[in-house]
Amino acid sequence: MDDVFNRQEENRIQAASAGGKSAPVLREEREKALDSIRGSLIGGAVGDALGYPVEFMSWNQIIVKYGLKGILKYAPDRRTGSAIITDDTQMTLFTANGILIGETEKRLKGVHKPITEYVHQAYREWMLTQEPGADVIRMDHRCWLFEIPALHVPRAPGLTCLAAIRSGKMGTTVKPINNSKGCGGVMRVAPVALYYRPETDEDRRSLDELGAEIAAITHGHPLGWLPAAVMTHMIGVGVYGDGAKTIRAAADEAWQTVRTIYRGRVSDENLDAMEKLIVWAEKLSAVEGKDVDHIRSIGEGWTGDEALAIALYCCLRYPDDFSKAMIAAVNHDGDSDSTGAVAGNILGAFIGEGAIEEKWKTDLEMLPVITQMADDLCHGCAAAGDGDCPDENWLRKYRDGHA
């Protein structure tokens, strides 16, 4: 798995080291992906914020409160006036922070622990933001996100995530920490696909596995982390593919690749269950009928496989209409913010930030932080591979852990 990461960093080193006319060209090449990277990270936050007010409501409760078509626009927080994000976006940001700390350390020191260890540490810091009274100033930390006061607010954090992280142990796909198949794993792994650019099919498989391992840090059941591998693959195609693949083609490719990777490592029962939901979501997306009825036949999104399938359905149903996809993704019985977040991450990667209407970005909580993280995932560390980095702002964030 390390090969893809080594090649990724070699490419970034060459870009950082290049002088003269080549440096702007290499930066321009990297920035071709910026619109998609921003689209995925912002899109996930939009779906999260739109779905949060109805997360624990039934469809009947939603229509009583918001009308027969359900929630169609943000229900801003009364105190701040913002459309607030939840633990889904919080943990996605901390995933990115962990990845970038790890990759920066490798560039500066020439040593590198598994990326999952850096992400696990980032999750431990996220957990502290959910504990009332955590001291932002005195707490030892490595994530610059820890110094953002707006992140020190509990937003219905998943109990499985909290319990797993609080234990101090780190689960893997081989040594699971529990038997949970909740969606708390899949909803946070987008940064894996946004940062690492696969050059080969082997690279893509390695990244799919990394997505699964990051989900398995807290969720041990295969249906809790297999969806993360599929999502990682799909987003990678959306951001770094040649643009010719449709979302449907990307979904089919993603599942066939993930099934091949884990055949013999995961029971046929779990592989078949995952495939059944993906195929069903694809079929429903082309059938006339109400979205809420179709989604109900998939599930409620509390588990990883259902959350991915609901998100996939919405992206396939409305591949060119971000608003309709997000509205469909959150208006159902179940885990509305997570299904909205996953759908936003996937669709945003394919259509880019430019296709997300301004109404969704206006008043979105933490938008500057989300955008900054997307830009950092795009550009990476500017160190030339010899321990020297000319970007003091980057070192402040990813070496010293300060905002």
* Residue 7 contacts residue 199 (beta carbons within 8 Å): yes
Of 116, 90, 353, nearest to 238 by C-alpha is 353
Q: pLDDT digit of tens for each residue in the chain (403 aa)?
A: 555 555 555 554 444 433 333 344 456 777 889 999 999 999 999 999 999 999 999 999 999 999 999 999 999 999 999 999 999 999 999 999 999 999 999 888 877 799 999 999 999 999 999 976 555 445 578 999 999 999 999 998 999 999 999 999 999 999 999 999 999 999 999 999 999 999 899 999 999 999 999 999 999 999 999 999 999 999 999 999 977 789 999 999 999 999 999 999 999 999 999 999 999 999 999 999 999 999 999 999 999 999 999 999 999 999 999 999 999 999 999 999 999 999 999 999 999 999 999 999 999 999 999 999 999 999 988 765 556 777 899 999 999 999 9
Instruction: Kindly report the number of other CB atoms within 10 A of residue 342's CB atom.
Output: 37
* Residue 383 contacts residue 107 (beta carbons within 8 Å): yes
Q: Which whole-number Å values give the CA distances from 140 to 72, 117, 137, 373, 402, in the listed order? A: 42, 17, 8, 21, 11
Got the DSSP string for 111-179? ----HHHHHHHHHHHHHHHTSTT--TTTS--S-GGGG-GGGSS-----HHHHHHHHTT----SSS-S--
* Domain boundaries along the sequence of the chain: 2-83+177-389
Phi, psi of 257 (to 5 degrees): -65, -45
Domain spanning 2-83+177-389: which CATH class is it, in words?
A: mainly alpha
State which amino acid sits at residue 391.
Answer: D
| Pairwise CA distance, residues 119 & 102, whole Å | 8
| Residue 94 exposure: Cα atoms within 13 Å on the Cβ side | 32
State which amino acid sits at residue 378.
Answer: C
